[in-house]
Amino acid sequence: MEGILAKTDDVSKREDVVINVQPYMATAVIGMFRGYSRSIFDYINMSTKPHGMVMAESFYDEIQNVLDEIYEKCIARTNLRERAKDFLEMVEMTGGVMPSDEVH
């Protein structure tokens, strides 16, 4: 059975897509979706299999590639990696005790 996108001639054609989003929010949303995409894909396949419709694994791989690219472009517009690195260094230096955890 052919997939829905198989009838489209330009499924692999790449184009620039420009959107205006808040980079921190976009990073969080895409990051969460990346984390759950396998479960969503498997659920859709499980739900549609009785009707003879199953998405090819290669389609999932393409979805992951697109999500990864969007994520990387969004996170590059933030300082989240630097902040995470600083936070992890602080945790290491303090042995996991945050300044707000100290009892005075």
pLDDT in tens, 14-61: 889 899 999 999 999 999 999 999 999 999 999 999 999 988 999 999
Q: Are 3 and 59 in contact (CB under 8 A)?
A: yes
60-103 tens-digit pLDDT: 999 999 999 999 999 999 999 999 999 899 889 888 887 676 66
Domain ranges of the chain: 21-94
What is the SS3 assignment for 41-72? Answer: HHHHHHHHHHHCCCCCHHHHHHHHHHHHHHHH
d(CA 27, CA 71): 6
- In the structure encoding, which two tokens stand for residue 88, read together? 């992890």
Return the ∠ at Cα 86 (arms to 81 and 92), rounded to 5°. Answer: 125
d(CA 53, CA 3): 8
